[in-house]
């Protein structure tokens, strides 16, 4: 797999896994201890080659992704489902535990944010779809996030993530139909 962008990962074990699966160049954030120098390196990589942020599907990974999103415009995002990153002992999660094929698929399915007009997903639509404020909302959001490959989010984050990745109401409606079919 030939990748021109630099892939941002959390640590050395993630670099080993990504290089094994793709032979791509990486920048490590050293976990959630991402510092100013690392952010400058990521910005430079974005300006010269492009960047794909590929962090673990947990709170520190989401925090790192948010810090990078705020500082570096136009980065791409790759996501792996939590269940595909669980260690064999079942106690740890991380990109380093994923299969090579899963890593390649996540990187092939990157999301790009561009300069097109913004998408607006009405909060009322998310409530009506039982994605917010419903006893099954968390489960439905997890399934939807997996289906759309946007990473796990809470109710507040779902609206932002859908809009950020330009998933319009038609695409969302189609995904919800599929989700409802799976639940039957």
Going from N- to C-terminal start, the domains of the chain cover 6-112, 123-183
Return the bridge partners of 28, or none.
Answer: 9
* DSSP 8-state class, residue 86: B
Percent of the chain with pLDDT over 90: 45
pLDDT, tens digit (0-9, with 9 covering 90-100), for 43-100: 999 999 999 999 988 889 988 998 998 899 889 999 888 788 776 777 788 889 889 9
Instruction: Specify the pLDDT at position 82.
Output: 79
Q: Which residues pair with 53 in a beta bridge?
A: 8, 77
pTM of the model: 0.69
C-alpha span between 117 and 27 (Å, rounded) = 31
Over residues 139-162, the mean pLDDT reads 86
Between CA 76 and CA 50 the distance in angstroms is: 8
Q: Per CATH, the architecture of 6-112 is what?
A: 3-Layer(aba) Sandwich (3.40)
Q: What are the start-end ranges of the H helices in 28-92?
A: 36-48, 59-71
Task: Give 111: exposed, middle or buried? Use CB within 10 Å, 0-12, 13-18, 19+.
Answer: buried
CA distance 2 to 4: 7
| Pair 157, 144: CB distance under 8 Å | no
> What local confidence, expressed as pLDDT, does residue 112 receive?
67
Banded pLDDT at 151 (limits 50, 70, 90) = confident
Whether the pLDDT of residue 115 is over 60: the answer is no
Q: Is the pLDDT of residue 123 over 70?
A: yes
> In the prediction, which pLDDT does 51 show?
95
- Please enumerate in sequence order all residues whose Cβ is within 8 A of that of 24, keeping only pairs 6 or more positions apart, or say none: 1, 3, 5, 6, 7, 18, 107
Q: Is the pLDDT of residue 116 over 60?
A: no
First to last CA, the chain: 38
pLDDT at residue 2, as a whole number: 79
């Amino acid at each position: 797999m030939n990748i021109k962008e630099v892939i941002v990962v959390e640590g050395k074990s993630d670099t080993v896994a990504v290089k094994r699966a793709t032979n791509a160049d990486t920048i490590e954030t050293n976990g959630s201890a991402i510092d100013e120098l690392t952010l400058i390196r990521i910005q430079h990589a974005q300006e010269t080659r492009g960047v794909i942020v590929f962090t673990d599907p947990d709170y520190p990974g989401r925090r790192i992704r948010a810090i990078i999103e705020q500082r570096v415009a136009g980065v791409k995002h790759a996501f792996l489902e939590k269940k595909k990153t669980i260690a064999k002992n079942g106690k740890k999660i991380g990109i380093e535990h994923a299969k090579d094929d899963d890593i390649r698929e996540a990187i092939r399915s990157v999301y790009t944010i561009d300069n097109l007009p913004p998408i607006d997903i009405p909060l009322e639509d998310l409530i009506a779809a039982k994605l917010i404020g419903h006893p099954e909302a968390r489960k439905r959001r997890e399934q939807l996030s997996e289906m759309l490959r946007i990473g796990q989010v809470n109710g507040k984050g779902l609206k932002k993530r859908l809009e950020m990745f330009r998933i319009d109401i038609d695409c969302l409606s189609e995904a919800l139909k599929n989700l409802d079919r799976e639940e039957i």
